[in-house]
Amino acid sequence: MRVTDAPTRPPGVRPGWLLGGVASVLLALVLGVSLGPVGLPPGSVALELLNLLPGVHLHSGLSEREIAIVTQLRLPRVVLGLLVGAMLALAGAAYQGVFRNPLADPHLLGVASGAGLGVTAVIVSRAAVGDATSNLPLGVPPAAFLGAVGAVALTWLLGTAGGRERTPATLILAGVAVSAFLSAVQTFLLQRHLDALREVYAWLLGRLATAGWHDVLLILPHAVITSAVVLAQRRELDVLTVGDDEAAGLGLHPQRSRYVLVLAAALGTAAAVSVSGLIGFVGIIVPHTLRLLAGASYRIILPLSVLYGGAFLALTDLVARTAGGQAEIPIGVVTAFFGAPFFVVVLRTGARSVSS
């Protein structure tokens, strides 16, 4: 009598990749805090960061001024970069699974256009009353978040217009339509208020400048909720890759799982965009690279995207604020610098695999 093989479980995260992700985050944390206009010894910075842990008291050798630079200026920015990068990479991986497209972008469903319109409205209204201060107004993050969430809601409603069932294809098409409409409204506002053009585009190119821990505390609850929901659905994403009929046969509710993942990813993306501006390519580069190197299972891709996505953006921000000398390079320009060659490599690899 022949015994059939037991079904194999999808592979989990290998310890080496997990340890590598944690090490990348720690490296980005220490380097991001150490390097800048005032250089600090990485060893002393590491000791000072350990002092932030309860019950740890180590002598770092840093002066009070240097400690203030570490804890009040650089550390909030690096932590913000880790959170934003983690959210963008996690949302990108979730969208790629939901839409079964390895190059899906976290700014789908009109998130970027909605956030851009919200920010434009705030900056234009400030310029209209004669406020000429150089800093972005405090209303920018909430306006970006509300605009992004509103755009997702509009896409969601448009996706069922005419009684159609929501599918990945209809949601993408609805997102394209909503993005085009909101971008047109944004362009109209900018055309009527050219004095706000520079500030709007400075935000659109991405920024991680922060005055302290406020932005970190603003995004943290959304990051926790998004991570918990998406990571809890990682096995469902693996099942969705085989198709809705097969997934339903295995006891899964494909549409319900897809709605939960889309909304959670949109929440995380909107929160990230609201504090950092529009930073492209992170949600494509990190998950796709992990898929090629670590494995195609979302049980692997999702948790590693959180770690490597955060480290990637924190290190990219380090390049943005140190490579240009006194002038800081917009972080969106730096990620595009890495993202464009990445697309070329992916397209060449895909063409080669098809022809072989």
Per-residue pLDDT reduced to its tens digit, 133-142: 444 556 777 8
**The pLDDT of residue 355:** 46
**The pLDDT of residue 131:** 52
**The pLDDT of residue 1:** 41
pLDDT exceeds cutoff 90 at 8: no
pLDDT exceeds cutoff 70 at 49: yes
pLDDT exceeds cutoff 60 at 190: yes
91 closest CA partner among 261, 316, 312, 273: 261
**The pLDDT of residue 11:** 61
**The pLDDT of residue 356:** 47
Q: Please state, in angstroms and rounded to a whole number, the distance separating the CA atoms of residues 203 and 226.
A: 24
Q: In this predicted model, what pLDDT tens digit does every residue of 265-310 receive, in sequence order?
A: 988 898 898 888 889 889 989 998 998 888 889 999 999 999 999 9
Q: Please enumerate in sequence order all residues whose Cβ is within 8 A of that of 80, keeping only pairs 6 or more positions apart, or say none.
A: 208, 210, 215, 216, 219, 275, 276
**The pLDDT of residue 119:** 86
pLDDT average, residue stretch 106-118: 86
Q: Which of 62-66, 169-173, 287-291 has the lowest mean pLDDT?
A: 169-173
- Residue 211's pLDDT band (boundaries 50, 70, 90)? low
93 closest CA partner among 262, 224, 228, 250: 262
Helices and strands in the chain: count of H runs, count of E runs: 15, 0
H or E stretch including 165? Answer: none
Contact 152, 117 (CB under 8 A): no
pLDDT average, residue stretch 323-349: 80
pLDDT average, residue stretch 125-132: 61
143 closest CA partner among 86, 213, 218, 84: 218
**The pLDDT of residue 323:** 83
Look up residue 185 and give its two tokens. 């409204």
Q: Which of 83-97, 191-205, 240-254, 331-345 has the lowest mean pLDDT?
A: 240-254
Higher per-residue pLDDT: 327 or 205: 205
Quickly list DSSP for 247-314. HHHTT--HHHHHHHHHHHHHHHHHHHHHHH----SHHHHHHHHHHHHT-S-HHHHHHHHHHHHHHHHH
**The pLDDT of residue 220:** 92
Q: Please enumerate in sequence order all residues whose Cβ is within 8 A of that of 284, keeping only pairs 6 or more positions apart, or say none.
A: 92, 103, 104, 105, 339, 342, 343
Instruction: Say which amino acid occupies 115.
Output: A
Higher per-residue pLDDT: 323 or 2: 323
Look up residue 9 and give its two tokens. 């479980």
Higher per-residue pLDDT: 163 or 32: 32
Look up residue 228 and give its two tokens. 């918990």
**C-alpha angle with apex 276: 158 to 311, nearest 5 degrees?**
110
pLDDT exceeds cutoff 80 at 106: yes
pLDDT average, residue stretch 301-322: 94
**The pLDDT of residue 253:** 77
Look up residue 130 and give its two tokens. 């004669």
**The pLDDT of residue 133:** 45
**The pLDDT of residue 4:** 41
**The pLDDT of residue 127:** 63
pLDDT exceeds cutoff 80 at 182: yes
**The pLDDT of residue 61:** 87
Average pLDDT over the chain reads 83
Look up residue 2 and give its two tokens. 């022949």
287 closest CA partner among 35, 105, 141, 127: 105
Q: Please state, in angstroms and rounded to a whole number, the distance separating the CA atoms of residues 123 and 190.
A: 10
Contact 301, 291 (CB under 8 A): yes
**The pLDDT of residue 7:** 42
Q: Please state, in angstroms and rounded to a whole number, the distance separating the CA atoms of residues 264 and 273.
A: 14
Higher per-residue pLDDT: 352 or 35: 35
Contact 98, 240 (CB under 8 A): yes
pLDDT exceeds cutoff 80 at 124: yes
Quickly list DSSP for 98-145. HTT-TT--TTGGGHHHHHHHHHHHHHHHHHHTT---SSPPTTHHHHHH
